[in-house]
């Protein structure tokens, strides 16, 4: 494997295309860019072209989707405006409203866990997906998903960048717009986050700041960088989803997560403010608040403390904690035209944990 070049500290960006094999990486420096591109050495990189979906006709959807199709193409009004003797095959169906064909999505914190689950859902829905995460090279979990996407003739790409570094994020977003092949940045999910456990009375101030820097400032820097690109896309706009937590609304019983909970409460209010400011530009901003889900953040803790898993499960009306794939549906909905009038909302996905 070739060693990466020395990079300026202001732009530690790396990209990896499709399935990346550690034993087969080759470095292909791009002119006037400060990061390194990895690609398959034995295969010519294909221009992204999503395979057809035979059951769905989305021919009325433009390449740069922009606002949802006009009213006469959707729902009851579309039917009423049709000639009673013929069926307009270009009327948008409910399935095509959820399609992400022709869109470009960015997911931070997508190297593994919930972020990778969301990224895969977007790929399967038709989007060209870029994952941004801190490690210089993606983990094995990401590589296996990239292999799967390659077999589907779709792309998921990896960029190494720090979400708390505004220079890196402000360089990454325009690069994605330029190289995506769709000429637009349509979806951005700010999912990168960390968690720590300390009793509040002894919480180290620097550790508290670290959580706020990643979970709150990192989310804002990501959203701001994406919105700056979306602002330039006249009549296109976009959808930004900030990943919060039920911990931003309720206190987790028996948990010492004051910094994490504070950071997520800030994200929920941030989402409402950004939705109000950016809505006139057709940029929708919503938040998603997952409940207890077996993610990488808590897996080790649950494995070492079966009693905690029992308590969390017993406290839920469904009698269990969530699975990462159970967020896929709501994430695709928020990214798609199916949620075109949803702005400034917090979607709570907890299995009912917060209804007590």
Q: What is the pLDDT of residues 59-93, one digit of tens each?
A: 444 444 566 666 667 778 777 776 554 555 555 68
Q: Specify the pTM.
A: 0.82
Q: What percent of the chain shows pLDDT beyond 70?
A: 76
Looking at residue 113, its pLDDT comes to 93
Taking the C-alpha atoms of residue 214 and residue 195, their distance in angstroms, rounded to an integer, is 10
Q: What percent of the chain shows pLDDT beyond 90?
A: 66
Give per-residue pLDDT as tens, 298-334.
888 888 899 999 999 999 999 999 999 999 999 999 9
Give per-residue pLDDT as tens, 146-175.
999 999 999 999 999 999 999 999 999 999
Looking at residue 19, its pLDDT comes to 38
The enclosing H or E element of 147 equals: helix 140-151
Mean pLDDT, rounded, for 20-46: 38
- Spatial contact of 127 and 331, defined as CB atoms under 8 Å apart: no
Beta bridge partners of 106: 130, 188
Q: Is 321 exposed, middle or buried (0-12, 13-18, 19+ CB in 10 A)?
A: buried
Mean pLDDT, rounded, for 102-110: 97
**Torsion-angle region of 32 (φ positive above 0: left; ψ -120 to 50: alpha; else: beta):** left
Residue 1 has pLDDT above 80, yes or no: no
Looking at residue 206, its pLDDT comes to 98
Mean pLDDT, rounded, for 9-23: 43
Cα 43 to chain centroid distance, Å, stands at: 28
Catalytic residue, candidates 73, 158, 175, 264: 264
Asked if 44 is an active-site residue, the reply is no
Residue 33 has pLDDT above 70, yes or no: no
- Spatial contact of 118 and 328, defined as CB atoms under 8 Å apart: yes
- Report which of residues 250 and 74 the model is more confident about: 250
Looking at residue 300, its pLDDT comes to 83
Looking at residue 86, its pLDDT comes to 55
Asked if 260 is an active-site residue, the reply is yes
Residue 196 has pLDDT above 60, yes or no: yes
- Spatial contact of 346 and 74, defined as CB atoms under 8 Å apart: no
Looking at residue 83, its pLDDT comes to 59
> What is the DSSP code (8-state) at residue 216?
I
Catalytic residue, candidates 24, 260, 281, 292: 260
Q: How confident is the model at residue 18 (pLDDT cuts 50, 70, 90)?
A: very low
Mean pLDDT, rounded, for 220-238: 95
- Spatial contact of 84 and 295, defined as CB atoms under 8 Å apart: no
Looking at residue 165, its pLDDT comes to 97
Mean pLDDT, rounded, for 126-145: 95
Going along the chain from its start, the domains and CATH numbers come out as: 100-355 (3.40.50.720)
Q: How confident is the model at residue 195 (pLDDT cuts 50, 70, 90)?
A: very high
Residue that has been written with the tokens 């999910």 in this structure: 189
The rounded mean pLDDT for the chain is: 83
Taking the C-alpha atoms of residue 263 and residue 78, their distance in angstroms, rounded to an integer, is 44
Taking the C-alpha atoms of residue 237 and residue 177, their distance in angstroms, rounded to an integer, is 13
Residue 104 has pLDDT above 80, yes or no: yes
Give per-residue pLDDT as tens, 253-289.
888 999 999 999 999 999 999 999 999 999 999 999 9
Q: How confident is the model at residue 356 (pLDDT cuts 50, 70, 90)?
A: confident
- Strand 13-17, strand 35-38: pairing: parallel
At a CB cut-off of 8 Å and minimum separation 6, what does 48 contact? 128, 154, 155, 180, 181, 182
Return the CA Rg of the chain: 21
Looking at residue 89, its pLDDT comes to 57
Tokens of 247: 């911990």
Looking at residue 253, its pLDDT comes to 87
- Give the number of other CB atoms < 10 A from CB of residue 29: 12
Mean pLDDT, rounded, for 121-148: 96
Beta bridge partners of 189: 107, 241
Nearest to 155 by CA among 171, 131, 186, 188: 131
- Give the number of other CB atoms < 10 A from CB of residue 316: 19
């Amino acid at each position: 494997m070739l060693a990466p070049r020395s990079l300026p500290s202001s732009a530690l960006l790396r990209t990896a295309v499709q399935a990346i094999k550690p034993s087969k990486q080759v470095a292909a420096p791009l002119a006037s860019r400060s990061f390194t591109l990895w690609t398959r050495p034995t295969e010519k990189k294909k221009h992204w072209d999503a395979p057809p979906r035979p059951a769905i006709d989305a021919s009325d959807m433009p390449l740069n989707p922009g606002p949802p199709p006009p009213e006469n193409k959707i729902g009851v009004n579309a039917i009423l405006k049709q000639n009673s003797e013929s069926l307009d095959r270009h009327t948008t169906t409910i399935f095509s409203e959820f399609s992400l064909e022709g869109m470009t999505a960015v997911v931070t914190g997508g190297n593994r866990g919930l972020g990778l689950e969301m990224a895969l859902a977007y790929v399967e829905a038709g989007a060209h997906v870029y994952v941004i995460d801190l490690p210089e090279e993606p983990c094995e979990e990401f590589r296996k998903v990239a292999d799967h996407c390659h077999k589907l003739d779709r792309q998921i790409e990896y960029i190494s960048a720090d979400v708390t570094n505004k220079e890196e994020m402000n360089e990454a977003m325009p690069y994605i717009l330029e190289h995506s092949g769709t000429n637009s940045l349509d979806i951005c999910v700010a999912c990168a986050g960390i968690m720590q456990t300390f009793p509040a009375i002894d919480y180290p101030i620097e550790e508290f700041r670290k959580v706020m820097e990643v979970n709150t400032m990192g989310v804002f820097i990501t959203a701001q960088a994406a919105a700056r690109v979306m602002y330039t896309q006249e009549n296109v706009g976009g959808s930004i989803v900030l990943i919060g937590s039920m911990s931003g609304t309720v206190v987790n019983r028996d948990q010492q997560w004051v910094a994490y909970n504070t950071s997520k409460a800030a994200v929920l209010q941030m989402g409402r403010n950004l939705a109000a400011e950016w809505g006139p530009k057709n940029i929708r901003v919503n938040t998603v608040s997952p409940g207890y889900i077996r993610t990488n953040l808590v897996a080790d803790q649950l494995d070492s403390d079966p009693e905690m898993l029992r308590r969390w499960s017993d406290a839920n009306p469904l009698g269990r904690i969530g699975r990462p794939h159970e967020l896929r549906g709501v994430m695709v909905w928020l990214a798609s035209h199916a949620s075109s009038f949803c702005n400034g909302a917090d979607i709570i996905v907890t299995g009912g944990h917060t209804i007590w």
